[in-house]
Amino acid sequence: MTVIKPRIAFADARRAQVPTASSERTWARRYRQHLMLTDTAIVLASTIGAMFLRFGFDDTTTPVAGFPTDYLTLSLFIALTWLGMLSLFHTRDPRVIGVGLGEYKRVVNATALTFGLLAILFLIAKIDIARGYFVVALPAGMVCVLTSRWLWRQWLTRQRLHDHYLSRALVVGGIRDVDYVVKQIDQASGAAYKVVGVSLDTGKRTGAKKEAALTGSIATTTREVPIVSDLDGVAQAASRLGADTVIVAGSALGGAEYVRRLSWKLEGTATDLVLASPLTDVAGPRIRFRPVEGLPLIQVEIPQFEGGKHLMKRAFDICSSAFGLLLISPLLLIIAALIKLDDGGPVFFSQERVGRRGETFRMYKFRSMVVDAEARRAELASLDEGNGVLFKMKNDPRITRLGAVLRKFSLDELPQLFNVLLGDMSLVGPRPPLESEVKGYANHVHRRLFIKPGLTGMWQVNGRSDLSWDESVRLDLYYVENWSLLGDLVIIWRTIRVIAHPAGAY
């Protein structure tokens, strides 16, 4: 979504409409105060703590322009500079807090630039400051700030589940566009909006037909949202409902001219104007704004499936899988022994799967079913509870008692780390399909094979076996076209959380 802040006109006739109170939402201001207090405490603790850790409690001084200056004063200067950069980078901006990775990126950039500039300044000013001081203060402070932001975000998410700390939104546009945007916002746990009403484009309808189109509500999966006005009454409806944001969905009647007039009507209010992009399933990093005078162009980067970015992913896979196997080797041995003791059958189950570019490979898992599971599948075909493509049963009688535990916590997938190390799979990617699945793919679904399948992925953290086939495909294609190393780290972290609180695993 693109946010447009309505311009404030400076003509005397318009000045009277500008409210004296701050346009910043009460919840955002309160939340920013929490972040500022926490950031200040952490920055002071990390800089002053690093000083005492490095030099102890002695009266240490460092020469500044030939004059002795104590490290406490220098630490306070560093802390104030650091806090200033966190503010300068808008790390507490209401548009990034609690949503996506933008907040964390700004914190990292502000911290790195702070210490980079200070290092240059101290070098020019010939300030003899110990490197060990920087080595302690920088990583410790940045990790603690990021951790505090994450903890605050968890608190914010819990509040939003109870309709607190949400921006009240009014959605504007045609019935299909409005319906899509409303349902997406209601289904997204981190959307940060609560839709309080919709304003519909009634087209050329007049009289009774127009009134009929503006009555009733739009039903979502959990509730109904009232229809409050047509396109001409959006500003008044926003004021009446106390909306913080007006979201224009799709191309409303009148196009760019309508959006411009609406921004004029919202001038002097505390309401943001947001344009919902028609670019579905395109992640932010692929979008670039390239404005030309009078024409705000949006450039969408074409996905790349070769090059340095993929080499970095492979290097990350090798290092992580090797370290992971070394770390969990005792657990692997214990699981292998338990499987062998359970029924005396083989420890591993292997199966041909399809990887990148359609090449097949043998995928390994800990065996979680009885030895003759494949032979007994035909007799259970009528009890299939899967998504129409994959065979799944919530209470599959072929699963052993130990296998049920392994599946619940995804422990049966651990041997796939060997597939990752060998290069057949990646840590994060689409779900590895069977050859029988690939033969039935529609043309666009073959895009899942443009990158290596993953040990985990979007499907793993969004419902696993509870997903429909179409939803599973959509998530995989979204990942294929929008993946990033930072996004992979987020998925790995979410996977750990899912394993701790399993859902959809059977």
8 Å CB contact between 502 and 495:
no
What mean pLDDT comes out for the span 221-242? 85
Q: What does each C-alpha distance from 60 to 55, 65, 357 come to in angstroms?
A: 7, 16, 63
Residue 470 confidence (pLDDT): 76
Residue 5 confidence (pLDDT): 47
Select the more confidently predicted residue: 379 or 307: 307
Which domains are assigned to the chain? Answer: 26-161 (no CATH), 166-278 (3.40.50.720), 308-500 (no CATH)
What mean pLDDT comes out for the span 173-179? 84
pLDDT surpasses 70 at 57: no
Residue 466 confidence (pLDDT): 65
8 Å CB contact between 316 and 485:
yes
Rounded Cα distance, 473 and 432, in Å: 12
Rounded Cα distance, 443 and 105, in Å: 37
8 Å CB contact between 270 and 299:
no
In 10 A of CB 67, how many CB atoms? 7
What are the two backbone dihedrals, phi and then psi, of residue 60, each rounded to the nearest 5 degrees?
A: -95, 140
Strand blocks (E) in 82-200: 167-173, 193-200
Q: Which residue has the tokens 């996905």?
A: 303
> pLDDT band at residue 44, thresholds of 50, 70 and 90?
very high
Which DSSP category does 369 fall into? B
> pLDDT band at residue 493, thresholds of 50, 70 and 90?
confident
Rounded Cα distance, 295 and 96, in Å: 25
pLDDT of 255-294, one tens digit each?
677 888 888 888 877 788 888 866 666 666 677 666 666 6
Query: What is the average pLDDT score of the chain?
Result: 79
pLDDT of 319-370, one tens digit each?
999 999 999 999 999 999 999 998 888 999 998 999 998 899 999 999 988 8
Rounded Cα distance, 305 and 482, in Å: 11
What mean pLDDT comes out for the span 361-385? 78
pLDDT surpasses 70 at 127: no
8 Å CB contact between 200 and 174:
yes
Most confident of 70-79, 82-91, 179-188: 82-91
Rounded Cα distance, 65 and 36, in Å: 33
8 Å CB contact between 169 and 245:
yes
Rounded Cα distance, 368 and 405, in Å: 9
What mean pLDDT comes out for the span 125-129? 67
Rounded Cα distance, 331 and 409, in Å: 13
In the beta sheet, which residues pair with residue 348? 366
8 Å CB contact between 233 and 262:
no
